[in-house]
Amino acid sequence: MLNMTELKPARILAIETSCDETACAILENGRALLSSTVASQMDIHARYGGVFPEVASRQHVLSIIPVVEQTLDQSNLSLKDIDAIAVTRGPGLAGSLVVGMNMAKGLALGTNLPIIGVNHLEGHIYSSWIYNAGETAPAEPQFPLMALLVSGGHTELNLMTDHLTYERLGSTLDDAAGEAFDKVARLLGLSYPGGPSIQRAAETGDPTRFKFPRARLDNPYDFSFSGLKTAVLYEVNALKKKQMALPVEDLAASFQAAVVEVLFNKTIQAAREHNAKEILVAGGVSANRALRQAFQSQDEFKVHIPAFSLCTDNAAMIAAAGYYRYALGQVSDLGMDVQPTWPLS
């Protein structure tokens, strides 16, 4: 087991550009957040109904320097006060990743600081370690920990027996949870990104009106959301055929209830079976209020879910994961390349 008291103190500046957010943050000792900037491209991509990779890459080029400068300004620090540079190496869009990677390499080269390539999924997991500098540090997640990762590109359950140690118990066989939210939102005529739109519509909807399927799979810890998405499509087509107005709120609420039930039940079952002490939920979908409520309404396990601002993509989480890698001496070299597909384990 990693002895945390022996880890050296360090201030990490991190850069994240894996998808459509240009982000930079400075974090102390893996937990205390000094400064964080996230420049979202959401409005630009909304008109395409999803992330347009070339546009994302160009936008990162425009935003990256101002975002790093703003992060340093806000912290009242200069590069001389930084101990290492962390950067998202993957998974993500190649054209987006390279912009952050080149900026990070430039900074590392210019300052002679070590550079750490960080897995974006590991970053999401480490968002639960972060708190705002100046506030009282909350208790750290305790191992063995059952980690549910639910983002736009990934859905998986990992058992963590120590820092940076993952045993994948299951993952999605088709769509990721966030992807299902985005696709169903489009079916219902709701705007991108789908997660927040579905959540909003579901607030006034009846989650019991439509009985959407919950997939049964050989491995109980795998996920599948494509059948659910198809069931919503059939329902929408049937209603349209009858020339009925779409009950968008009820459809959204019933879909959301199905996703939340599956994510919650599988995580609790996995935590029990593997004698986990605590549960951690991470990734963009962990911002979902119904999912948070489901976990908060039980008291069998202590559950860690990041603050809303840390659920979706940000650089603070990359600094947190980068810190633990750095503290263990796992630095990268300047010859590293981006890894658009890079599994967590």
Residues within the interface to Zn ion (CB under 5 A): 151, 313
How many binding residues for ligand KG4 (CB under 6 A)? 20
Burial degree of 8 (CB within 10 A; 0-12, 13-18, 19+)? exposed
* 100, 153, 306, 322: residue in contact with ligand KG4 (rule CB under 6 A): 153
**Residue 193 preceded by cis peptide, ω within 30:** yes
Least distance between ligand KG4 and beta carbon 341 (Å): 13
The one of Zn ion, ligand KG4, none whose footprint includes residue 207, by CB under 5 to 8 A per kind, is none
194 near ligand KG4, rule: CB under 6 A = yes
The one of ligand KG4, Zn ion, none whose footprint includes residue 101, by CB under 5 to 8 A per kind, is none
- Euclidean distance between the first and the last CA atom of the chain, given in angstroms as a whole number: 18
Least distance between ligand KG4 and beta carbon 256 (Å): 8
Dist CA 128 CA 143 (whole Å): 13
The one of Zn ion, ligand KG4, none whose footprint includes residue 41, by CB under 5 to 8 A per kind, is none
**Residue 144 preceded by cis peptide, ω within 30:** yes
Q: Per-residue x/- marks for ligand KG4, 275-314, CB under 6 A?
A: --------xxx-xx-----------------------xx-
88 near ligand KG4, rule: CB under 6 A = no
Least distance between ligand KG4 and beta carbon 325 (Å): 19
Dist CA 62 CA 83 (whole Å): 26
SS (H, E, C) 75-116: HCCCHHHCCEEEEEEECCCHHHHHHHHHHHHHHHHHHCCCEE
Dist CA 175 CA 251 (whole Å): 19
15 near ligand KG4, rule: CB under 6 A = no
The footprint of ligand KG4 (CB under 6 A) covers 19, 151-153, 178-179, 181-182, 193-196, 199, 283-285, 287-288, 312-313
